[in-house]
Amino acid sequence: MKVISFNINGIRARLHQLEALIAKHQPDIIGLQETKVHDEQFPQEAVEAMGYHVIFHGQKGHYGVALLSKKPLENPMLGFPNDGEEAQRRMIMGDYVSDNGERVRVLNGYFPQGESRDHPLKFPAKEKFYADLMTYLQTELKPEQPVIVMGDVNISHQDCDIGIGDDNAKRWLRTGKCSFLPEERAWLNTLLDWGLVDTYRQQHPDVTDQFSWFDYRSRGFDDNRGLRIDLILATEKLAAQCTDSGIDYELRGIEKPSDHAPIWSVFSA
């Protein structure tokens, strides 16, 4: 079972990149974030023509998530159970039954960026999203189940996931800019402590020069200046079946790309 997470940064502008991703990887499941399209305008026919079933949860111009799968997902859910009408559309989930009959609960999220510690709205919204996810895990699922939580988590978990240079990193911390603040890492650690494993870091414990987001304006991709903020997390039972994981720099380098690279993990399940 091959799983891909990709912040596509506008699906209608990146169908060529999605098509290239599918042609290269032929994944079983794709989680897309930042689709930036209202449900009525989602390019469902184009995605289905690529050979995938799709569910989506979006709004005009911002946010938005989708799950693509070779087999239809069961028990789909759009957003968290406690989301109101005004909630930003950032979470989507469903059950994927693998070829060996195992039912995997798949959660795909576009986690808030937060901007900075002193932002009166965005930073609390990021904390709340992590708390809502934790509540869902604790009330609806068990760590013993096969569960995948993937997406643009907007946090670099360890210092080896930071590739923007020491001076920039120190300045971000000093000014309270989001991505690797101590409290953000504590939120992510709460998920890991519940029973989730970072599949990429499990496979590549010593890699320090691979990132998943690169700033457009400063042309960060040209000299590999970025952050690893996109993750595929799996419960321990499933993580034990992970055989490989990677970040696709080739697809980040194509014409008119997203500012994120697709990430992938393979499971023997």
The pLDDT of residue 26? 99
Q: What is the pLDDT of residues 244-253, one digit of tens each?
A: 999 999 999 9
Residue range 53-91, pLDDT digits in tens: 999 999 998 999 999 999 999 999 999 999 998 999 999
Alpha-carbon distance 195 to 103, whole Å?
17
On the question of pLDDT at 173 being above 90, the answer is yes
Q: Write out the two tokens for 12.
A: 């209608």
pLDDT of residue 16: 98
Query: Is 82 marked as binding a ligand?
Result: no
Please indicate if the annotation marks 34 as binding a ligand. yes
Cα separation, 201 vs 189, whole angstroms: 14
pLDDT tens column, 210-225: 999 999 999 999 999 9
pTM score, whole prediction? 0.98
Give the mean model confidence (pLDDT) for residues 131-150: 99
Kindly state the average pLDDT of the residues 171-196.
Answer: 99
* Percentage of the chain modeled with pLDDT above 90: 98
Domain spans, the chain: 2-267
| 109-138 burial code (b ≥16 CB/10 A, e <16) | bbbbbbeeeeeeeebebbeebbebbeebbe
Q: What confidence score (pLDDT) does residue 188 get?
A: 99
Task: List residues with catalytic annotation.
Answer: 110, 152, 260
CATH superfamily of 2-267: Endonuclease/exonuclease/phosphatase (3.60.10.10)
Q: How far apart are CA 18 and CA 14, in angstroms?
A: 6
> For residues 156 and 136, what is the distance between their CA atoms, to the nearest angstrom?
23
Distance from C-alpha of 121 to C-alpha of 65, rounded to nearest angstrom: 21
DSSP label at 70? Answer: S
Please state the rounded mean pLDDT for residues 5-26: 99
Amino acid at site 129: F
- Residue 7, annotated ligand binder? yes
| Tens-place pLDDT, residues 16-55 | 999 999 999 999 999 999 999 999 999 999 999 999 999 9
Q: Token pair for residue 214?
A: 């690169």
C-alpha 206, offset from chain centre: 22
Residue 269 pLDDT > 90, yes or no? no
Does residue 132 have a known ligand-binding role? no
Cβ partners under 8 Å of residue 145, min gap 6: 105, 235, 237
Q: Which two tokens stand for residue 227?
A: 């952050």
Are the C-beta atoms of residues 177 and 135 closer than 8 Å to each other? no
The three state secondary structure string of 204-257 is CCCCCCCCCECCCCCCHHHHCCEECCEEEEEEHHHHCCEEEEEECHHHHCCCCC
Q: Which tens digits make up the pLDDT trace of 225-245? A: 999 999 999 999 999 999 999
CA 50 – CA 151 distance, rounded (Å): 21
Measured from the Cβ of residue 155, the count of other Cβ atoms closer than 10 Å reads 25
For the chain, percent of residues with pLDDT exceeding 70: 100
In the numeric block, which tokens belong to residue 121? 């709205």
How does pLDDT run across 105-127, given as a tens digit for each residue? 999 999 999 999 999 999 999 99
Q: Cα separation of 193 and 119, whole Å? A: 27
Distance CA 16, CA 31 (A): 16
